Structure 1
């Protein structure tokens, strides 16, 4: 098949997807997608809810479709990659939310940790889908998860923020590990990769690197890498 024919067939399939399952709904249901194609303002709230021109997009199938078309450029801007062109999307935090944790396999490097997002996507944490932890020293009250936020890459440039109970369950799989440079961190194994979550203070609470020694600065920091580590204990999955 020639490249030109392939592109034509792909565009036709996308047009069918846009005009097909949603064209059968009434105008109110079809409105958000139609507005997006005509330059409407799209936004994803902190809880993963979609809005178009300030109105909620309530159809799960449509939200899943839009989420599947979402893209992020190297500058960090989000947009829908539609056949008619790119449509900007404002994302308040992360475009997806991690609602459930799954644990498979034995403890240690062979363990596989996966999350289910609000769009029912299953993502397994590995070298291509790392964990990132952000610490806010101010403990912003606007953050329902407290002062520590955890993200997992769902696909290139797009992350899911873990709900607090999911992050708590992830933390129960953690172990302390001394890296090659001598520093000690706390993190989790998944698919033969180790992902630092931070450090433990005297009370056993997870804190930003340096806080346990009183050396943290005023700016937020993040942790996320791919290193070997010790074996974590068994623990229940979150649901």
Structure 2
């Protein structure tokens, strides 16, 4: 069985290269599929981004990547895995993805932020992929909008990188620009 191609190293790519890779990724048209609901999938996505099936972690990253392409959020807030012929509920503890790596170019209004997700997907923050920071008892919880109601929890080390960049720019309110959009880091409840 052929191995999946290695994920590109963000450090060797420009943001233009990353944007082109992100734009080239074709996803199935899950929003247009409307099969009957078939029940639970016996799958779960943990807060740390680990995918489980029947209580055991899915060890093959290629399988996780494949399942992530047919993931959809329903209007009632639930998550499903959907194909043209079936729809199965999947439990998601927080967000279905985790942003695990950051690359930044520019500064101020000219800054661009690119994120790698735990699935290997690349997302450029901007008007179509917003950043938000929710207030919680233990501190802010940062998220990146991935697609159609699916978010990525921003891993704590990546959040610290964002906070460092925001502090260095001294914006008021504290926040960052990416793709021509300003994202305040003040939490929302």
The TM-score range, normalised by the shorter chain, is 0.7 to 0.9
**1:164 deviation in Å?**
0.8
Alignment correspondent of 2:128: 128
**1:96 deviation in Å?**
0.4
Deviations 1:194-213 (CA, angstroms, capped at 9, x unpaired): 00001xxxxxxxxx5xxxxx
**1:155 deviation in Å?**
1.0
Alignment correspondent of 2:141: 149
User: Mind listing any 5+ residue stretches in structure 2 that lack a counterpart?
Assistant: 1-27, 29-37
User: Mind listing any 5+ residue stretches in structure 1 that lack a counterpart?
Assistant: 1-13, 15-36, 140-146, 178-183, 199-207, 209-220, 223-239
Larger Cα Rg: Structure 1 or Structure 2? 1
Alignment correspondent of 1:189: 177
Q: Does 1:54 align with 2:46?
A: no
Secondary structure in 1 aligned to 2:88?
A: strand
Runs of 4+ in 1 over 6 A off after TM superposition: none
The separation in 2 between residues aligned to 1:136 and 1:84, in whole angstroms, is 39
The separation in 2 between residues aligned to 1:127 and 1:151, in whole angstroms, is 14
Deviations 1:127-179 (CA, angstroms, capped at 9, x unpaired): 11000111113x2xxxxxxx2210001111011111111001011221454xx
Secondary structure in 1 aligned to 2:184?
A: strand
Alignment correspondent of 1:160: 152
**Aligned residue pairs: how many?**
151
Alignment correspondent of 1:72: 73
Taking a change above 3 Å as real, the CA distance of residues 38 and 193 of structure 1, as seen in their structure-2 partners, is: closer
Alignment correspondent of 1:116: 116
Secondary structure in 1 aligned to 2:94?
A: coil
Alignment correspondent of 1:63: 64
**1:40 deviation in Å?**
3.3
TM-score, normalization by structure 2: 0.74
RMSD between aligned residues: 1.8
Alignment correspondent of 1:7: none
The separation in 1 between residues aligned to 2:96 and 2:173, in whole angstroms, is 28
Alignment correspondent of 1:44: 45
Alignment correspondent of 2:8: none
The separation in 1 between residues aligned to 2:104 and 2:125, in whole angstroms, is 10
